[in-house]
């Protein structure tokens, strides 16, 4: 078994391997806080869940401060769990936006969420547009509007339209961007709606919209067509998805390339935080040079059926 690093480029001997997202971010503490403790559970289970909730609340108070404690806890619950996402360029900024909202800095959270939406939209277009220069949806109008050359793009509608027509984002993600743009206009351009308001309502809506964008566009797990069907416990990018410019640019740097027989070994980073390293069977291709996605799923689901266990 050899250690696999993120972002490895596929070689001719990797036909039996698929990309597994491992460099990801998430915060699911809200899921535990939202879970109702059922009276039908065993007493020990009920007590354990209540203790978990108390521990998370204490952790959040330590993280955000005791001043206005109850409001901060309510704010944290309101913004839902941070979305599962590959680590790209938005993760740090989303964390800052969430922290601003929890702390009660609603207007900075509102503006930050809208700005991050525009930044993500710009990044998607600018990083990917060269891949679609000959695409049938790349009309003369896109060139006239600067979508194909400008370094800064402010027309969200044109950006959304281009990305949808290129197949980069779905109609659902496009609509989330559209809703966020409306909030951007209300936040940045003066109107009386915010007079006398702390902007919490608009900020909450903006945070939830940008989180939906990230959750839908950058999720490191799921099903077809982006991920291979029939594998439990892990999500591997499909061969079809691997060919897409968006996946190549944003997903593969956060992935390891592994055979159906690999291990995740627990470790700690330099700061003492828990993490894991990925080790792969470096000789799997000797027996199985190439695998279809369906075959990969079968091998992963029952490794011992295809090769004897590796001796320690």
- Name the band, by pLDDT with cuts 50, 70 and 90, for residue 226: very high
Q: Using the 8-state DSSP alphabet, how is residue 262 labeled?
A: E
The pTM assigned to this predicted structure is 0.89
According to the model, what pLDDT value does residue 135 have? Answer: 92
Q: What are phi and psi of 196, to 5 degrees?
A: 75, 10
Cα 189 from chain centroid?
A: 30
Q: What are phi and psi of 277, to 5 degrees?
A: -115, 150
Tens of pLDDT along 2-37?
Answer: 999 989 999 999 999 999 999 988 888 988 888 899
Report how far residue 92's alpha carbon sits from residue 113's, in angstroms, rounded to the nearest whole number. Answer: 12
Q: What are phi and psi of 79, to 5 degrees?
A: -90, 5
Tens of pLDDT along 120-154?
Answer: 999 999 999 999 999 988 888 888 888 888 888 88
- From residue 271, give the alpha-carbon distance in Å to each of 6, 275, 277: 20, 11, 16
């Amino acid at each position: 078994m050899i250690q696999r690093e993120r972002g490895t480029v596929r070689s001719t001997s990797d036909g039996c391997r698929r990309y597994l997202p491992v460099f990801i971010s998430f915060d699911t503490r809200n899921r535990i806080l939202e879970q109702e403790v059922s009276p039908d559970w065993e007493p020990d289970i009920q007590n354990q869940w209540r203790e978990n909730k108390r521990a998370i609340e204490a952790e959040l108070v330590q993280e955000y401060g005791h001043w206005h404690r109850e409001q901060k806890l309510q704010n944290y619950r309101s913004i839902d769990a941070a979305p599962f996402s590959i680590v790209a360029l938005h993760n740090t900024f989303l964390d800052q936006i969430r922290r601003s909202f929890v702390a009660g800095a609603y207007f900075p959270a509102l503006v930050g969420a809208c700005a991050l939406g525009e930044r993500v939209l710009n990044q998607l277009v600018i990083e990917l547009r060269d891949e679609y220069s000959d695409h049938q949806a790349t009309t003369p109008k896109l060139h006239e509007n600067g979508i194909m050359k400008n370094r800064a793009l402010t027309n969200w509608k044109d950006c959304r339209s281009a990305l949808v027509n290129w197949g980069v984002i779905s109609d659902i993600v496009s609509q989330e961007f559209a809703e966020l743009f409306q909030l951007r206009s209300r936040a940045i351009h003066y109107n009386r709606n915010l007079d006398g308001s702390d902007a919490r309502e608009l900020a909450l809506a903006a945070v939830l919209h940008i989180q939906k964008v990230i959750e839908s566009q950058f999720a490191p797990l799921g099903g077809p067509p982006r991920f291979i069907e029939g594998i439990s416990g892990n999500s591997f990018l499909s061969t079809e998805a691997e060919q897409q410019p968006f996946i190549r640019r944003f997903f593969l740097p956060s992935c390891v390339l592994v055979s159906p027989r690999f291990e995740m070994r627990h470790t700690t980073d330099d700061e003492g935080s828990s993490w894991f390293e990925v080790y792969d069977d470096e000789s799997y291709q000797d027996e199985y040079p190439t695998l279809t996605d369906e075959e990969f799923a079968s091998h992963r689901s029952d490794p011992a059926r295809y090769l004897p266990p590796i001796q320690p």
